[in-house]
Amino acid sequence: MPDALERLKTRLAEQHSLDELISLLAWDQRTIMPPAGGRQRAGHMALLQRLSHELFTDPEVGRLLDDLAPLEGSLDPDSDDAALLRVTRRDYEKAVRVPAELRAEMTRAASEAAPVWVKAKATSDFELFLPLLERNVELRRRYIACFEPQDEPYDILLDDFEPEMKAAEVTRIFDEVKTELVPLIAEQAGREIDDSFLTGHFPLDRQVALDWEVVDMFGHRPGAWRIDPTEHPFASGAGIDDIRITTHYHEDSLKSLFSTMHEYGHGLYQHQLPDRIAHLPVGTAASLGMHESQSRLWENLVGRSLPFWHFFYPRLQEVFPEQLRGVELERFYAAINRVQPSLIRIEADEVTYGMHVILRFELEQDIVNGRVELRDLPARWAEKMHDYLGVEVPDDANGVLQDMHWSIGLIGYFSTYLLGTVMSVQIWEKAAGDIGDLEQQVERGEFAALREWLGDHVHTHARKFAPQETLRRATGATIDAKPYIAYLKKKYGAPVPA
Amino acid sequence: MPDALERLKTRLAEQHSLDELISLLAWDQRTIMPPAGGRQRAGHMALLQRLSHELFTDPEVGRLLDDLAPLEGSLDPDSDDAALLRVTRRDYEKAVRVPAELRAEMTRAASEAAPVWVKAKATSDFELFLPLLERNVELRRRYIACFEPQDEPYDILLDDFEPEMKAAEVTRIFDEVKTELVPLIAEQAGREIDDSFLTGHFPLDRQVALDWEVVDMFGHRPGAWRIDPTEHPFASGAGIDDIRITTHYHEDSLKSLFSTMHEYGHGLYQHQLPDRIAHLPVGTAASLGMHESQSRLWENLVGRSLPFWHFFYPRLQEVFPEQLRGVELERFYAAINRVQPSLIRIEADEVTYGMHVILRFELEQDIVNGRVELRDLPARWAEKMHDYLGVEVPDDANGVLQDMHWSIGLIGYFSTYLLGTVMSVQIWEKAAGDIGDLEQQVERGEFAALREWLGDHVHTHARKFAPQETLRRATGATIDAKPYIAYLKKKYGAPVPA
């Protein structure tokens, strides 16, 4: 029996190594690869993906799981081994339901669509994009049909990104958020806040040094991180001591600084996964939503907070005196938290961001449930943008074509951004309660206690439990929109500082 | 039959992809990986190595080769498919002779030895190194025993690096070189050449830009190359359009410039491998020696030639005016070609370099044939350094411990450095004959004809033929020391310019 467990672990460790290498190859491609190398890279990545999939869906895994069922029943459910068996069984049962042919077709559709999406977006040409979307939606329907019916078909897609979460639960949370956000946004949109000093000249070399300064100040083990420029920032790596975050430097703004704090949160999660199981699939992050809770926590709860800037603003002024000399802390704080309904999700502020996600989640449900003709999506998009944010969509590049997700078949993904944001406030408040003087620590530039609390209460569980169980263990509750809404109301409902 | 061939090609392409990824991971580790990532990297690389080996040694490959024997006999021996079957059969028959257990032991010994060698070299401690060497030599003996006896056991080791080359042939060539080099070195060593201006201050940013300028001037397809700093320079990549050369910048010298020209030669070989077979093992370089012929050609025949510096010296003076203002071309040319017997192979000049290799080749033969006690190696090393180069070895760090090769089991490798150098002159002379005005082109900074000639006459053959057959097809002759000796005598036997 222990022998069967060791055999299973060996195989899973190999599969996980291949998955880590796929991430590393993707990082390489998006940061430093000579562009002409792309032609060969696609084949390299497809090979590793196939090998990983073959390792995992081999009938031997099923036999080992059968052999290990008695052992699993006898183990403490909280133990690493019980979690490994539980998670592996769940993954395996899902994986073997999808025929290799369908999986290959989905992969092919995604890789063929990516460059077309780039072109469609560049030329704002929804007609060019529509056939890809039709193909992807059709493939997702076939994918859904591989599984036992759930409460609704969308649940099957969502489960891949946020295990055990249900569309009905997401709807309930998002409706609660929407009810509060729409009036809050309308109220904020009328305020006059000067943020002109956030646009100007921020020399790149100083931005690079500053990003490193912040990442080092937030904290990590030495010699284990990289920061590299890329087009669309992301966090990646090849193990808990090889963390690679990325950013996009804009000479005319400080966007990179906030994006780096966001990616730091993702990176720290990877960095603090428990060493004893980090080489196994069960040792990875709990979900996309839980990942986003970590990035949003560092970006917003720390990085856009007044205590943080009490500490760090003098340093920022020192680095960019030409831009910030004479700008008081209160004006700076108001500017970096300015609420401004806009067209583009990834540029949205903390308050309007949620509505961008809700819009996408609602449209995805309409797509999957066949309640919308795909060719009507641009019009639906524009209607919702008008209703939720009060903005008019000038063209599809600034509307339905702005995100890559749907073009590569990622339907059911968007909601995790807002689920994570909601959870980030619950986690922050529990951490603050446990630590006691968290705000004062942040005001002194001390982050060790927060980092360790997150390690001990969130990261330590890796993927041993479903995300909501992880959240319950960390905070005592499952997902709840109220703390998030209260946080936004307190921060943004109050009079503008100064 | 064609089906069997396609099945074989698919498998070989996968194996080759894994090998390319291993190279990429090694490049990453030696250039940009966060140092703490090394702990996980070893496992990742070992996994890909094992998967590559399993793909290739699977009995299915043997069955396919058997099935394809009739086809192979019917094909034009010069065709890609015939070469693929010939090379695969040769590789397969060698690979399956070595038990998995011995191969694993060799890999483990190499990876365990690497850090010990670093320490032994740093502390000049041969006693620390000796057990590793003993283990490696013992493993090589077991490796040799897996094969049919050859003229001498060393041939079996050499064949892995320089296919079909024999130790007796190497000895014949090296003896011929040695007879001429020893007096030439003694004659040169007395000359007074001022190269003081080659030491000083060469700002790093200008060196980086200059290396790129030279690589772009020598020529390559756009968007397909990188140059990165590393400790010990090498060339790597992940396909013909993802070429990654490396260099070590020294603020006080121009070493990086010459090392970059050297690595350009390696990179160009990879870059100009024929696209139609570059995804297969038969589409890689012919041998280490042939690779070195390309790097030495660009470093020495181009990069240390008077025509090149006629063209490029004004530019170099413009980049480093503080160092080179007032230094005439003739003095610069004499300085970069100064012959100076010294202790360290990788810092040796063009004339003394060969003796460093010959010394190692002779000692390796003594080791393999049991003619030397391993613990006596330091003394033997010192004797030969005295006899061949007239220098005294002060300690083992500057002697037998200087190279990593033996510590990781690379016995039989060194000779390829000099074989390549010898071949580089044969190739250069044939190219010059065919092109007609090659020196004049170099003097005008034109390298396209040379690049294309190398592509059409050397690189195009990839690994389809044994290295000597490749050389014969390129130049009309197999390896011959005379052109090399004549070149050195002409360049160095003449009076010092100016």
CB contact under 8 A, B37 and A225: no
Taking the CA of residue B34 and the nearest CA in chain A, the distance in Å comes to 5
CB of B199 within 8 Å of a chain A CB? The answer is no
The pLDDT tens digits for A328-380 are: 999 999 999 999 999 999 989 999 999 999 999 999 999 999 999 999 999 99
Q: What is the mean pLDDT of residues A241-259?
A: 96
Identify the pLDDT of residue A489. 95
Kindly state the average pLDDT of the residues B66-81: 96
Interchain proximity B279–A239, CB inside 8 Å = no
- DSSP state letters, B91-119: HHHHHTTS-HHHHHHHHHHHHHHHHHHHH
Distance from CA of A403 to the nearest CA of B (A): 27
**Residue A495 pLDDT grade (very low, low, confident, very high; cuts 50, 70, 90):** low
Shortest Cα–Cα distance, B210 to chain A (Å): 19
Question: What are residue B292's phi and psi, to 5 degrees?
Answer: -65, -30
CB contact under 8 Å between A37 and B279, yes or no, is no
Chain B residues near residue A223 by CB distance under 8 angstroms? 34-36
Kindly identify which residue of chain B lies nearest to residue A222, measuring between CA atoms.
Answer: B36
| B37 interaction partners in chain A (CB closer than 8 Å) | 224, 237-239, 241-242
Q: A427 to chain B, minimum CA–CA distance in Å?
A: 29
Mean pLDDT of the A197-224 span: 97
Closest CA to B484 of B387, B395, B354: B354
Q: Which chain B residues are within 8 Å of A41, Cβ to Cβ?
A: 238-239, 242
CB contact under 8 A, B17 and A243: no
Interior angle at CA A222, CA A219 and CA A227, nearest 5: 75
Give A14-35 pLDDT, tens digit per residue.
Answer: 999 999 999 999 999 999 999 9
Regarding predicted confidence, which is higher, B187 or B235? Answer: B235
Residue-wise pLDDT tens digits, A30-78: 999 999 998 889 889 989 999 999 999 999 999 999 999 999 999 999 9
Contact B40/A242, CB-based, under 8 Å? yes
Question: Which residue of the set A169, A263, A292, A362 is catalytic?
Answer: A263
pLDDT at B497 over 60: no
Q: Which residues fall within 8 angstroms of residue A177, CB to CB, at 6 or more apart?
A: A354, A358, A418, A422, A481, A484, A485
Q: What is the pLDDT of residue B190?
A: 76
* Residue carrying the six token digits 């970006």: A299
Most confident listed range (A345-349, B343-347, B367-371, B482-486)? B482-486
In sequence order, the 6+-apart residues with CB closer than 8 A to the CB of A28 are A41, B24, B28
Cβ separation of A17 and B43 shorter than 8 Å?
Answer: yes
Asked whether residue B52 carries a pLDDT value surpassing 90, the answer given is yes
Alpha-carbon dihedral of residues A384, A385, A388, A390, nearest 10 degrees? Answer: -130
Residue closest to A337 by CA, chosen among A414, A393, A258: A258
Mean pLDDT of chain A: 95
Residues 6+ apart with CB under 8 A from B219: B447, B448, B451
- Please compute the mean of the pLDDT values over residues A77-87 and round it to a whole number: 98
- Pick among B12, B16, B18, B44 to test the A interface (most A CBs inside 10 A): B44
CA distances from B454 to A138, A222, A308, B217, B321 (A): 51, 46, 61, 16, 35
A32-46, A390-404, A408-422: the lowest-pLDDT one: A32-46
Which pTM value belongs to this model?
A: 0.94
In terms of pLDDT, which residue wins out, A269 or A107?
A269
| A263 carries an active-site annotation | yes
A17-21, A188-192, A494-498, B47-51: which has the minimum mean pLDDT?
A: A494-498
Q: Is the pLDDT of residue A152 over 60?
A: yes
Average pLDDT over residues A214-229: 98
Say yes or no for a CB contact (<8 Å) between A242 and B25.
no
What residues pair up with A207 in beta bridges, in sequence order? Answer: none
Mean pLDDT of B443-465: 98
d(Cα A103, Cα A101) in Å, to the nearest integer?
Answer: 5
Does residue A51 sit at the B interface (CB-CB below 8 Å)? Answer: yes
Q: Kindly state whether B240 is in contact with chain A, defined as any CB-CB distance less than 8 angstroms.
A: yes
Contact A44 B238 (CB under 8 A): yes
Confidence class for position B1, pLDDT limits 50, 70, 90: low
pLDDT at A115: 84
Cα B487 to Cα B482: distance, rounded to the nearest angstrom: 8
On whether any CB of chain A is under 8 Å from the CB of B205, the answer is no
Tell the burial category of A160 from Cβ atoms under 10 Å away from its Cβ (0-12, 13-18, 19+). middle
**Angstrom distance (rounded) from CA A302 to CA A214:** 12
B43 contact residues in A (CB cutoff 8 A): 17, 279
Contact A207, A323 (CB under 8 A): no
pLDDT (0 to 100) of residue B111: 79
Q: How far is A283 from chain B (nearest CA, A)?
A: 14
Nearest to A356 by CA among A367, A340, A369: A340
- Among chain B residues, the shortest Cα distance to A43 is held by B17
Q: Is the confidence at residue A498, as pLDDT, over 60?
A: no
- Is B236 within 8 Å of B26 (Cβ atoms)? yes
Residue A24: closest C-alpha in chain B: B25
What is residue A497's predicted lDDT score, i.e. its pLDDT? 47
**If you average pLDDT over residues B391-397, what whole number do you get?**
96
On chain A, the residues whose CB falls within 8 A of the CB of B34 are: 223-226, 241-244
This complex has an ipTM of: 0.92
The average confidence (pLDDT) of chain B is: 95
For residue A51, list chain B residues with Cβ-Cβ distance below 8 A.
Answer: 51
Select from A20, A242, A244, A273 the residue whose CB has the most chain B CBs within 10 Å, as the one to mutate to test that interface: A242
pLDDT band at A1 (very low <50, low <70, confident <90, very high): low
Compute the average pLDDT of residues B76-97: 97
The single residue of B20, B162, B263, B362 carrying the catalytic annotation is B263
Shortest distance between the Cα of B451 and any Cα of chain A, in A, equals 19
Residue given tokens 């070429």 in the structure block: B243
> pLDDT tens, A113-143?
888 999 999 999 999 999 999 999 999 999 9
User: Sorting pLDDT into bands at 50, 70 and 90, what band is A494?
Assistant: low
Task: Write out pLDDT tens, residues A154-187.
Answer: 999 999 999 999 999 999 999 999 999 999 998 8
Alpha helices in B238-305 (DSSP H): 255-271, 288-296
- Per-residue pLDDT band at B498 (split at 50, 70, 90): very low
pLDDT (tens digit, 9 = 90+) per residue, A260-302? Answer: 999 999 999 999 999 999 999 999 999 999 999 999 999 999 9
Which pLDDT score is estimated for A2? 66
Q: Which of B18, B36, B239 sits opposite A224 (nearest CB)?
A: B36
Quick: pLDDT tens for B260-298: 999 999 999 999 999 999 999 999 999 999 999 999 999
Of A37, A221, A222, the CB nearest to B239: A37
Residue B241 contacts A where some CB pair is shorter than 8 Å: yes
**Least Cα separation, residue A274 to chain B (angstroms):** 14
Cβ-defined contact of A240 to B14 (cutoff 8 Å): no
Hey, what are B213's tokens?
A: 């300028």
pLDDT at A429 over 60: yes
